[in-house]
């Protein structure tokens, strides 16, 4: 590249000289009017920066220049990365200079799996305690929530553990009906993979004893009588929540307020400059909330939206609707260029898709091997239809069968165009680990939640046995097999503070990453899955200035203290959007 630049400059200089000579000759011979050789001015060697950061420990993620002392920025682009002495060539009278005083600077963090609208919206009106083990104690809380949010519309809550309901001494439906019986109530379980509803809600959704189980879901019933017990598993719960969350002017206002006034400022505070919305319910008008934020110039992060593929939708209609929502303008902060679909459910519900059956049946399926929201054949249908339109697939798969089927789908119909990923990757059959690299499928892992740490792995022994519980979220094995790994939060299941995720990633022996690889998973690798690695994700000349300054150098501290790190400055697109 250096040789090319030198050749280009020499060529331009020769061109200028030739042009001048021809012009001079033309003045005497009259032949210059036939010559179309332009005089091209040569740009000055150095540009003047609008901002300079110097005296820092700048971790670039550029393999050719891993560390630097200083960075120069012109407007929103990086124009220099190098030494303190050399950066002075870019300083003019109007350059703003920041002395980092030895602080660490690095690229802005990416969180490529989070729920930035639904996790902050006040459309969820109350919370109940995930640690409460007696559901009878929820009655007074639900009653009070109804009093605090009067009216006949849906009362929406969040927070319990499904096991609290499954272990109840009487029907969960009777308990919630005792709390509120004159309006529909729906409470999302802490993992978001089940809903607790009352009789009014069941009636509005149209679920009865005779209703067949929907794709990817289960309507739980009393084992003896067949009566509904108020628990809706996976997609059965989603169907009810879609009705509860049907968009209104008020609900959209609350979504927007939560996104703009809570989520985005908190992301900036934690150094996160790019995100993927991992489940955008476009039938609830989530996409309109994003578009409004863009129109109002309120976005302080680069956003790739994962449009939700509804399991119960008609394929022809849904594929048409999804194609119509696609946008991928690289100059925009907002792009609708990903599809989010679920291959399966989760282990604790016994709904993640497994190659061998569960040891316990929680959902009324003999020889249960879990559920499919989308079968392999249907995933293939969607990839075949939407990948050529430009979409990348963000596929939820937790069980070894779900992961294998998602990989099979990419292998069977995907092309080199796709940048698909499988998220969660909790239980992977050893035979499938090398397939991630072979198929260019990114493994998107969440380790910010303590429940993914090795000391919690065997809490699932009762469901899937010791052998399958061991080695959950095997990021080291994936890395050793050359898989591209991204780290994300799944907020609000886990905190989005990237330093919690980094600490857990490097300390979860035997499935840990080195610090350098964990940082790359949160930056450059994630930029790749967002199709913006040519713009951000590392600190290099020509890239956009999405940068963060930390209060300590992550490479100089004990790994078990990484979570104490604080963001001092967050720079997004050349502008300071947070300063401690």
Q: How many CB atoms lie under 10 A from the CB of residue 514?
A: 12
* Residue 387 region by backbone torsions, left for phi larger than 0, else alpha for psi between -120 and 50, else beta: alpha
User: Distance (Å, rounded) from C-alpha 538 to C-alpha 544?
Assistant: 9
If you write DSSP's letter for every residue of 314-365 in order, what string do you get?
-HHHHHHHHHHH-B--TTSSEEEEEEEEES---TTTT-S--SS--SS-SSS-
CA angle, residues 548, 550, 553, in degrees to nearest 5: 125
Tens digits of pLDDT across the chain (580 residues): 333 333 333 333 333 333 333 333 333 333 333 333 333 333 344 689 999 999 999 999 999 999 999 999 999 999 999 999 999 999 999 999 999 999 999 999 999 999 999 999 999 999 999 999 999 999 999 999 999 999 999 999 999 999 999 999 999 999 999 999 999 999 999 999 999 999 999 999 999 999 999 999 999 999 889 999 999 999 999 999 999 999 999 999 999 999 999 999 999 999 999 999 999 999 999 999 999 999 999 999 999 999 999 999 999 999 999 999 999 998 899 999 999 999 999 999 999 999 999 998 888 898 999 999 999 999 999 999 999 999 999 999 999 999 999 999 999 999 999 999 999 999 999 999 999 999 999 999 999 998 899 999 999 999 999 999 999 999 999 999 999 999 999 998 999 999 999 999 999 999 999 999 999 999 999 999 999 999 999 999 999 999 999 999 999 999 999 999 999 999 999 999 999 9
Q: What is the pLDDT of residue 224?
A: 86
Kind plus residue range of the DSSP H or E element containing 393: strand 392-397
pLDDT at 32: 32
State residue 27's pLDDT score: 37
CA distance 245 to 247: 6
Q: CB of 402 within 8 A of CB of 343?
A: yes
What CATH number belongs to 110-115+248-579? 3.20.20.140
Model pLDDT, residue 546: 98
Per-domain residue ranges of the chain: 1-43, 110-115+248-579, 126-244
Residue 551 carries which DSSP code?
A: S
How many angstroms separate the Cα of 149 from the Cα of each of 154, 176, 357, 507? 10, 16, 43, 44
Q: Three-class SS of residue 308?
A: strand
CATH topology of domain 126-244: Diaminopimelate Epimerase; Chain A, domain 1 (3.10.310)
Token pair in block for residue 41? 């001015």
Q: Is the Cβ–Cβ distance between 391 and 379 less than 8 Å?
A: no
User: Any idea what DSSP says for residue 49?
Assistant: P
> Which pair of tokens denotes residue 461?
């022994």
Within 13 A of 447's CA, how many CA atoms are on the CB side?
34
In which order are the strands placed within the sheet that holds 109-114?
109-114, 272-280, 302-308, 334-342, 392-397, 421-424, 442-445, 485-487
Count of CB atoms situated within 10 Å of the CB of 144: 12
Q: Is the dihedral of CA 161, 167, 170, 171 positive or negative?
A: positive
Q: Are 488 and 423 in contact (CB under 8 A)?
A: yes
Run of H or E including 145: helix 138-148
Tell me the whole-structure pTM to 2 decimals: 0.89
pLDDT in the model for residue 24: 34
Give yes or no for a cis peptide into 275 (omega within 30° of 0).
Answer: no
CB 209 within 8 A of CB 226: yes
DSSP 432: G
Beta bridge partners of 51: 73, 96
pLDDT of residue 579: 97
Q: Catalogue the long-range contacts made by 25-29 (C-beta closer than 8 Å, 24 or more residues apart).
A: none
Q: Are 421 and 393 contacting, i.e. CB atoms less than 8 angstroms apart?
A: yes
Q: Identify whether the C-beta of residue 120 lies closer than 8 Å to the C-beta of residue 277.
A: no
Q: Tell me the two tokens of residue 542.
A: 């020509």
Residue spans of beta strands (DSSP E) within 414-521:
421-424, 442-445, 485-487
Closest CA to 313 of 346, 344, 271, 341: 341
Helix (H) or strand (E) holding 279: strand 272-280
């Amino acid at each position: 590249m250096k040789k090319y630049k030198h050749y280009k400059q020499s060529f331009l200089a020769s061109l200028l000289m030739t042009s001048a000579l021809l012009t001079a000759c033309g003045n005497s011979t009259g032949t210059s009017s036939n010559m179309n050789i332009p005089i091209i001015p040569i740009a000055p060697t150095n540009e003047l920066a609008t901002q300079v950061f110097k005296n820092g420990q700048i971790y670039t993620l550029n393999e050719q220049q891993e560390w630097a002392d200083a960075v120069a920025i012109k407007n929103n682009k990086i124009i220099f990365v190098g030494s303190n002495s050399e950066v002075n060539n870019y300083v003019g009278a109007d350059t703003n200079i920041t002395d980092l005083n030895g602080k660490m600077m690095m690229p802005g963090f990416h969180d490529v799996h989070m729920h930035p609208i639904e996790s902050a919206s006040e459309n969820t009106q109350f919370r109940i305690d995930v640690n409460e083990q007696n559901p009878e104690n929820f009655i007074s809380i639900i009653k009070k929530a109804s009093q605090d949010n009067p009216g006949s519309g849906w009362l929406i809550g969040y927070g319990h553990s499904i096991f609290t309901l499954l272990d109840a001494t009487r029907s969960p439906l009777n308990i919630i009906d005792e709390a509120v019986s004159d309006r529909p109530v729906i409470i999302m379980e802490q993992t978001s993979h089940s809903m607790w509803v009352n009789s009014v809600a069941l009636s509005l959704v149209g679920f009865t004893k005779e209703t067949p189980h929907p794709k990817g879901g289960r309507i739980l019933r009393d084992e003896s009588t067949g009566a509904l017990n108020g628990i809706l598993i996976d997609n059965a719960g989603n169907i009810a929540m879609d009705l509860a969350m049907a968009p209104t002017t008020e609900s959209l206002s609350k979504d927007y307020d939560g996104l703009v006034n809570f989520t985005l400022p908190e992301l900036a505070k934690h150094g996160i400059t790019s995100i993927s919305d991992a489940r955008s319910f476009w039938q609830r008008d989530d996409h309109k909330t994003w578009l409004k934020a863009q129109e109002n110039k309120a976005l302080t992060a680069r956003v790739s939206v994962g449009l939700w593929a509804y399991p119960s939708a008609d394929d022809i209609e849904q594929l048409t609707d999804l194609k119509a929502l696609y946008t991928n303008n690289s100059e925009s902060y907002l792009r609708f260029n990903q599809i989010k679909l679920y291959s399966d459910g989760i282990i604790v519900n016994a709904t993640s898709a497994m190659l061998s059956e569960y040891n316990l049946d929680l959902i009324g399926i003999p020889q249960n091997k879990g559920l499919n929201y989308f079968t392999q054949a249907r995933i293939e249908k969607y990839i075949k239809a939407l990948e050529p339109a430009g979409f990348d697939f963000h596929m939820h798969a937790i069980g070894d069968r779900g992961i294998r089927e998602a990989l099979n789908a990419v292998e069977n119909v995907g092309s080199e165009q796709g940048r698909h990923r499988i998220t969660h990757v909790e239980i992977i059959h050893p035979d499938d680990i090398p397939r991630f690299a072979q198929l260019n499928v990114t493994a998107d892992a969440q380790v910010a939640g303590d429940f993914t740490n090795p000391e919690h792995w065997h809490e699932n022994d009762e469901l899937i046995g010791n052998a399958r519980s061991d080695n959950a979220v095997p990021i080291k094995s994936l890395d050793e097999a050359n898989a591209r790994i991204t780290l994300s939060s799944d907020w609000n299941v886990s905190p989005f503070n990237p330093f919690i995720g980094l600490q857990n990633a490097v300390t979860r022996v035997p499935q840990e990453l080195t610090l350098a690889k964990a940082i790359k998973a949160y930056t450059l690798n994630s930029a790749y899955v967002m199709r913006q690695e040519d713009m951000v994700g590392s600190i290099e000349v020509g890239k956009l200035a999405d940068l963060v300054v930390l209060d300590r150098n992550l490479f100089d501290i004990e790994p078990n203290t990484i979570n104490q790190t604080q963001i001092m400055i967050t720079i997004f697109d050349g502008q300071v959007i947070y300063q401690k």
